[in-house]
Each structure stands twice: as structure tokens, then as C-alpha cells.
Amino acid sequence: MNAGPEISQAFVVCVSAMFTQNILLTYFLGLCPFLGVSREVKTSMGLGLAVIFVLTSTCMLNWLTYHYVLVPLGLEFFRFILFIIIIAAFVQLVEMVLDRYSPFLYQKLGVFLPLITVNCAILGASLFMVIRDYSFIVTIGYGFGSGLGWFLAIIAMAGIRQKLANERIPQGLQGPGITLIIAGLMALAFMGFSGVLQGT
């Protein structure tokens, strides 16, 4: 089997998942932490990195489970439940290991892990990879790209919100109101990328 074309396809999928098909700004998945934890660039960075890591690894795990357990047994319809269970168990496990062996990483990422377990972007990416019938290598690219896209979106949002802290915003729009408007504008901006990459 020649992996060359697959790798280049994985790369294309990765870039499109980052920009044109940004999981946050085109599918609006993972919106809750996006609005809740985007007050400071520093914390958003931690959360974003944690999402990249968890998204990539759970996509891989779920791909393996789906293709080697569910498909042979004809149990594809169970993917919702199983993906959730696997994501939750994996996140807990990673948190435990980080906590024990890497205080530095735990400090930077670990505290955000419990928040991610219930992030719908993670489950969403796993389901998309099934619907779109990606191969394993492409799935890695897709998971990583989606995570990176989410990361970029939340960092951009946090940067904007830090600037906004000193602005005079009409009272009724303060907090979630203005944040949602910004999210909408950002989504429009990201749609501009759709001309760049087509046919993925």
C-alpha cells in the first residue's frame, strides 16, 4: 500500500479542518468553553493545547474502536455511546498520569482536562471522521487540524476580549452578548478561507 497520497490527503484535510471547516466557527461545536474560558490569552492557550492533544488522540482511539470492534460486529449505531465512554475514560487516565508524572504539564494542561471531557467538539470530530469515511492516517490529520483550528479560534477570541476589557460596551451587550457577536464576525472571516481550499 502506498501511503504517499494518503499523507498528502491528510495534510489537505488538516488544513481545511483548521480554516474552511473550522469545527468551532463553521460547525459551532465546543462553544461553551469557547465563551467561558476565553477571558485571558494565557488560560485559553492551556485549554486550546489540551483540546489539540485530546482531539487528536481520541480520534485515533475511536477510529480503531470503530473499525476493529464496531464494524465487524455490525454495531455501528453504538458509536455515540462508545465514543463518549472512550473519551471520558481516556481523559481521566491522561489527567491521572500527568498529575503523577509531570507536574509541569499538569499545571499547564491537566487542570483543563476535566473541562474537555464534555466538550462536544471532541465527540463531533470523532463522528465526522466516521461520516466522512476517513482512513486512519487522514483521521490523524483531521483530528490534529480540528484541534488546531479550535485552538486558533479561542486564542483569537481571547486576544479580542482582552482588548475589549478596556472598551466601553453598551450595557445590554456586555459579557456573553458582545462575545457572541464577535464569534459571528470571526465565523464570517473564517468563511473567507473557503475560496482557498476546495474539494476536500
Partner 1 sequence: MVLEILVAVTVVSLIGTVLAALLTICEHFIADYGPCQISINDESDVTVKGGKDLLSMLTAERIFIPSACGGRGTCGLCKLKVLEGAGPLLPTEEPYLEKEERESNVRLACQVKVRGDLKIEIPQELLAVREYTCKCVEITDLTHDIKQFRLELIEPTTIDYIPGQYVQLLTPVYEKSDEEIYRAYSISSNPAEKSVIELIIRLVPGGICTTYCFEYLKVGDEVKINGPYGDFRLLDSDAPIVFIAGGSGMAPIKCMLHHMKNTDNKRKTIYYFGANEPRELLLTDLMREFEKQLANFRFVPVVCEPEDSNVLGCEIGLVTHAVQRDLKNATECEAYLCGSPGMIDATIKVLEELGVSEDKIFYDKF
- Site residues (CB under 8 A) for partner 1? 43, 46, 65, 69, 73-75, 78, 81-82, 85-86, 89, 92-93, 96-97, 99-100, 103, 107, 111
Tell me the C-alpha distance between 128 and 110, whole Å: 26
Judged by CB, which is closer to partner 1: 32, or 185?
32
Contacts with 82 (C-beta within 8 Å, 6 or more apart), sequence order: 62, 65, 70
177: nearest Cα among 166, 188, 164, 189: 164
Least spacing, CB of residue 69 vs partner 1, in Å: 7
Q: Between 93 and 181, whose beta carbon lies closer to partner 1?
A: 93
What does the alpha-carbon distance between residue 51 and residue 200 come to, in Å, rounded to a whole number? 23
Q: 33 or 141, CB closer to partner 1? A: 33
Burial class (CB in 10 A: 0-12, 13-18, 19+), 115: middle
Residues 112 and 46: beta-carbon distance below 8 Å:
yes
Q: Which is nearer to partner 1, 92 or 194 (CB)?
A: 92
Shortest CB 139 distance to partner 1, Å: 19
CA atoms of 72 and 19, how far apart (whole Å):
34
CB of 107 to partner 1, least distance (A): 5
CB closer to partner 1 out of 23 and 54? 54
- Least separation in angstroms between CB 197 and partner 1: 35
Smallest distance, partner 1 to C-beta of residue 85, A: 6
CA distances from 191 to 16, 32, 38, 72, 135 (A): 11, 21, 21, 39, 26
